[in-house]
């Protein structure tokens, strides 16, 4: 079962009893369930794993599934320009690889600065720690569907020149995955969509882009 974004957690971002019941019903023997596209920082009104208690409801659903013989992962996502100032702390701009917005009603993002990358990596690592501490089978880092990681990967998503000139900067945000992989090994996976076109993210040379990325990630023995 692929990750969903059901917006059922309310203002707190903490999964409710309804979420617990939903996943408990669907976690079946021999199955693999990837639970909730879950933000690594307070950027949208979806479940958030920026503090341990946010895993409580999904952990209970996971426990029901584990008793039934199923397994599940937690999907960790940073939305980037897909977010909106109305859903940001203090009305801040969402960050992206450029200042190019999606069509209305999306907000104009601000371009992520190079010195901010370690903070993104730390957010992914902390999210993985909380999910694995909640006894999930692992974490899937969401690098597809037009979210922040893909905004840096896809060459047709307009970038500032510093990101366009070199391959390595285009891959910068995958360091969150590599950092998680070093600590958690097979408990970490990365979701990619080379031929996707969600939220304006497409790539004219997907084979080249993703072959390079896979080559860089393969030594880390991801799930």
**Is 7 domain-assigned?**
no
Asked about 23 being catalytic, the answer comes back as no
**Is 3 domain-assigned?**
no
**Is 134 domain-assigned?**
yes
How many domains is the chain built from? 1
**Is 66 domain-assigned?**
yes
**Is 11 domain-assigned?**
no
pTM of the model: 0.74
Cis peptide upstream of residue 105 (ω within 30 degrees of 0): yes
Please report, for the domain that includes residue 136, its CATH number: 3.20.20.70
Cα–Cα dist 109/113, whole Å: 12
Q: Would you place residue 30 in the very low, low, confident or very high pLDDT band (cuts 50, 70, 90)? A: confident
**Is 10 domain-assigned?**
no
**Is 192 domain-assigned?**
yes
Catalytic choice (22, 23, 124, 147): 147
**Is 6 domain-assigned?**
no
Over residues 148-179, the pLDDT tens digits come to 888 888 756 555 444 444 445 444 445 555 55
- For position 181, what pLDDT does the model report? 53
Over residues 189-198, the pLDDT tens digits come to 888 888 888 8
Domain range spanning residue 139?
Answer: 17-220
């Amino acid at each position: 079962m692929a990750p969903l974004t059901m917006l059922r957690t309310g203002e707190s971002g903490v999964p409710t009893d309804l979420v617990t019941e939903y996943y408990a019903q669907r976690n079946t023997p021999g199955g693999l369930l990837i639970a909730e596209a879950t933000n690594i920082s307070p950027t949208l009104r979806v479940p958030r794993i920026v503090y341990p208690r946010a895993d409580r409801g999904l952990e209970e659903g996971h426990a029901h599934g584990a008793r039934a013989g199923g397994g599940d992962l937690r999907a960790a996502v940073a939305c980037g320009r897909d977010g909106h100032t109305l859903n940001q702390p203090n009305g801040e701009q969402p960050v992206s690889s450029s200042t190019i917005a999606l069509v209305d009603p999306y907000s104009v993002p601000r371009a992520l600065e190079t010195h901010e990358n370690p903070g993104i990596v730390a957010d992914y690592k902390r999210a993985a720690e909380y999910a694995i501490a909640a006894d999930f089978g692992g974490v899937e880092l969401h690098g597809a569907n037009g979210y922040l990681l893909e905004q840096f990967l896809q060459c047709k998503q307009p970038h500032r020149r510093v990101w366009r000139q070199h391959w390595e900067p285009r891959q910068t945000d995958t360091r969150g995955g590599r950092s998680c992989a070093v600590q958690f090994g097979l408990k970490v996976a990365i979701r990619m969509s080379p031929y996707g076109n969600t939220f304006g993210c497409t790539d004219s040379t997907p084979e080249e882009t993703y072959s390079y990325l896979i080559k860089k990630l393969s030594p880390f023995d991801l799930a």
